[in-house]
Amino acid sequence: MNGNNGPEQHDLPGRSDRVSTTGYSEKINESNILKRLFYVTTTVIGLIPLTVSPCLAGKIRVIDESRRVVLSHNVNPNARPIYDIGGTDYSLPMEHMVITLQRTAEKQAELDQLLADQQNLSSDNYHKWLTPEEFGKKFGADPEDIDAIKSWLISHGFIVEELPKGGTWINFSGKVADVERAFGTHIHDYYMNGKIYHANSTDPTIPEVLADLVGGVVSLHNFPRKPMNNGSKPEFTSGSEHYLAPGDFATIYNVNALYNAGINGSGQTIAIVGRTHPSSTNWATFRSMMGLPGNLPQVIVNGTDPGDLGGDEDVEADLDVEWSGAVAKSATIAFVVSKSTNTTDGVDLSAQYIVNSNLAPVMSTSFGACEADMGSAGNAFYNNLWMQAAAQGITSLVASGDSGAAGCSSADSTSGSGTGVNGLSSTPYNIAVGGTEFDEGSGNFWNSTNTSNGSSAISYIPEMAWNESGSTSFCPPGETCSGLWATGGGVSSIYNKPAWQVAPGVPSDGKRDVPDISLSAALHDGYLVVTLGGLYRVGGTSASSPSAAGIMALIVQKTRERQGNTAVGLYRLGNAQYGSGGVNVFHDIISGNNSVPGVTGYSCSVGYDQVTGLGSIDANALVSNWPMPTATVSLTPNPIGPQTVGTTVTFTAQGSGGTGDYEYRFWLLPPGATT
């Protein structure tokens, strides 16, 4: 979409200090830039093994409260003495806490093999997905062990609210006094950025006899995934600008060819992780304005309705819902909403609900926390959750972050402090989606006028790494580049290199590298979003993740089955393209980097890189060449041989391999003809 009105400057709106999203935006009113809103991604830290008592699975456990082990690395970095203002009221509710459970080494080995087989084209278990109940029976904690933990929680005054189908976590509630007594820690109040937060001041402990079962308490605090720095933001003066309408995205990333073939997301569902409940009015307006089908997204409220939190939270929700449905325009968008509590982020609860309910074949999460901030229990929780999702055939896409290589710093900081990656996106069981930026140069890629659906893009536009930070060597005309705004990427401090992460350019570092793929994420040529009662343009990897989820839904429609951890298929295609002249399904991004003020990051290069992954996507090429097992059909008898007209012929046709339905065609040939 084009916007060519003259300069106009406005004050910036206030910001919520509870927001932890990945993206940023500014308002457009009849193509004038009015406001800029900022978003951030956050992340998680390394898993620390515990020294535990021998495994007692299925046996009676006698709990000795005097013999305890420490759940190390589970104090939030913001729970610092400088912010401490004293102990929290003992009666304060601590709701929807989550204990993440551990599985035995034997079960983990079996699960690892199944996950590999589910993506092995020649395996009998290829794409044989599990239900949550089947996952629980095969790989969840033993019922006796879950009962032991449940009984222990109840003995300390907690209410056990939910036991999952997959047997990998327990949700429970209580009060501060219960938490301190059961987990041997202290809950304190911390005053930051004008708000009081509650958090454990020391690592929690549990009875030693439970240590082989309990991976940890996901969180005992209500710090948001990444606090945003308050303060004024750079004003923006608009000049000649372009904005991404859904029609532009379809042209640039070659989705139109799929639409013309009837691949538009019909019959598919994309689940979106949320924690606010905005009005659907903006969604209806967006779909009408952009010429999309009128199917409105569904809202699923998980537990207590958080209500409409407004501001930045609504911008994130509107962005995710509108753009997943803009790409897979005939799909059902299921927006799952969970209220954040004094101990657990609504993001965790919504993601948990989607997987436990097996809600959709594709899901997108535009929130995060750096690996160094989430704690060992938080890392274990998301690693287990995405692992279960993959076993159920769910493709989980997660934004890689907006702070460049400085994944533990807020994107609107003036300087980063060390490298880090978004832990929600760095597990081996999800797709990490990074960001690119259009590099129009002197080319002509836009028409001077818009079509009725607001689009004006002519063709694919060359891309480079998204980097609109204060250290970028290229700031688009008319933009003010500052802060750390750049695509998240780098090396996991936790996870080893997955066997499937193989392609030219993938570092030989023995560690999981992110991102996997990228799409446009810059505020330059930003995504159009109807939100806060107006039209905004939005950037950030929170825009690229739901858009990529839309493309994945098209793959599911084309193949007529779930795909699970599609990272395996993506790297197969990438390895072939960059290594042996395979089909070009990725746009190789070789220009730019994700270095930001204070932190030297990574540079784009041929093939894979830790800035944009395998590159951006040619949607038609990706969907059309998606890896599938070869189908074979045998006839008995074969050949049938010459037959007299009018004769009834009986034969048997047997198909194997491939997916979906088999189609048989026969032709009657005149005497002497062979073709």
| Domains with residue ranges and CATH for the chain | 8-41+245-624 (3.40.50.200)
Look at residue 97 in the predicted model and tell me its pLDDT: 97
Question: What is the mean predicted confidence (pLDDT) over 151-159?
Answer: 97
| Percent of the chain with pLDDT strictly greater than 70 | 83
Look at residue 149 in the predicted model and tell me its pLDDT: 96
Reported as half-sphere exposure (CB side, CA atoms, 13 A), residue 69 has a value of 18
Query: For residue 673, with 0-12 CB atoms within 10 Å meaning exposed, 13-18 middle and 19 or more buried, which class applies?
Result: exposed
Look at residue 645 in the predicted model and tell me its pLDDT: 67
Q: Is the pLDDT of residue 602 over 60?
A: yes
Residue 238 pLDDT grade (very low, low, confident, very high; cuts 50, 70, 90): very low
Question: What is the mean predicted confidence (pLDDT) over 314-341?
Answer: 97
Residue 38 pLDDT grade (very low, low, confident, very high; cuts 50, 70, 90): very low
Look at residue 655 in the predicted model and tell me its pLDDT: 60
Q: Is the pLDDT of residue 463 over 70?
A: yes
Look at residue 472 in the predicted model and tell me its pLDDT: 79
Question: What is the mean predicted confidence (pLDDT) over 457-481?
Answer: 86
Judged by average pLDDT, the poorest of 44-48, 335-339, 360-364, 456-460 is 44-48
Residue 479 pLDDT grade (very low, low, confident, very high; cuts 50, 70, 90): confident
Residue 513 pLDDT grade (very low, low, confident, very high; cuts 50, 70, 90): very high
Residue 413 parent element (H or E): none
> Which pLDDT tens digit goes with each residue over 561-595?
999 999 999 999 999 999 998 999 999 999 999 99
Contact between residue 219 and residue 345 where contact means Cβ atoms under 8 Å apart: yes
* DSSP class of 602: -
Question: What is the mean predicted confidence (pLDDT) over 54-81?
Answer: 81
Reported as half-sphere exposure (CB side, CA atoms, 13 A), residue 500 has a value of 23
Contact between residue 61 and residue 47 where contact means Cβ atoms under 8 Å apart: no
Q: Is the pLDDT of residue 137 over 70?
A: yes
Contact between residue 333 and residue 324 where contact means Cβ atoms under 8 Å apart: yes
Look at residue 540 in the predicted model and tell me its pLDDT: 93
Judged by average pLDDT, the poorest of 296-305, 473-482, 551-560, 658-667 is 658-667
Question: What is the mean predicted confidence (pLDDT) over 246-253?
Answer: 98
Q: Which pair of tokens denotes residue 266?
A: 């019909």
**Residue 578 or 9, more confident:** 578
Look at residue 40 in the predicted model and tell me its pLDDT: 31
Residue 108 CA to residue 102 CA, distance in Å, equals 9
Look at residue 623 in the predicted model and tell me its pLDDT: 98
Highest mean pLDDT among 80-89, 409-418, 628-637: 80-89
Q: Which of 435, 376, 374, 363 is nearest to 401 (CA)?
A: 435
Residue 112 CA to residue 139 CA, distance in Å, equals 10
Look at residue 2 in the predicted model and tell me its pLDDT: 66
> Which pLDDT tens digit goes with each residue over 430-462?
999 999 999 998 789 999 999 999 999 999 999
Residue 205 CA to residue 488 CA, distance in Å, equals 34
- Cα separation values, 123 from 126, 128, 511, 576, 657, Å: 5, 10, 27, 21, 10
Question: What is the mean predicted confidence (pLDDT) over 174-202?
Answer: 96
Query: For residue 266, with 0-12 CB atoms within 10 Å meaning exposed, 13-18 middle and 19 or more buried, which class applies?
Result: middle
Look at residue 674 in the predicted model and tell me its pLDDT: 56
Q: Which of 446, 443, 483, 491 is nearest to 467 (CA)?
A: 483
Residue 631 pLDDT grade (very low, low, confident, very high; cuts 50, 70, 90): low
Look at residue 232 in the predicted model and tell me its pLDDT: 24
Return the bridge partners of 336, or none: 273, 300
**Residue 8 or 93, more confident:** 93
Residue 124 pLDDT grade (very low, low, confident, very high; cuts 50, 70, 90): very high
Query: For residue 32, with 0-12 CB atoms within 10 Å meaning exposed, 13-18 middle and 19 or more buried, which class applies?
Result: middle
Residue 59 pLDDT grade (very low, low, confident, very high; cuts 50, 70, 90): low
- Its pTM stands at 0.87
Judged by average pLDDT, the poorest of 89-93, 105-109, 319-323, 372-376 is 372-376
Q: What is the mean pLDDT of the chain?
A: 86
Residue 634 pLDDT grade (very low, low, confident, very high; cuts 50, 70, 90): low
Q: Is the pLDDT of residue 21 over 70?
A: no
Is beta strand 463-465 parallel, antiparallel or unpaired with respect to 431-438?
Answer: antiparallel
Q: Is the pLDDT of residue 675 over 60?
A: no
> Which pLDDT tens digit goes with each residue over 384-393?
999 999 999 9
**Residue 622 or 52, more confident:** 622
Question: What is the mean predicted confidence (pLDDT) over 491-517?
Answer: 98
Residue 45 pLDDT grade (very low, low, confident, very high; cuts 50, 70, 90): very low
Written as one string, the DSSP assignment of 556-591 is: HHHHTS--S-THHHHHHHHHHHHHH-----EE---S
* 161: three-class secondary structure by DSSP: strand
Residue 533 pLDDT grade (very low, low, confident, very high; cuts 50, 70, 90): confident
Look at residue 37 in the predicted model and tell me its pLDDT: 33
Neighbours of 267 (CB within 10 A): 12
Look at residue 653 in the predicted model and tell me its pLDDT: 67
Residue 633 pLDDT grade (very low, low, confident, very high; cuts 50, 70, 90): low
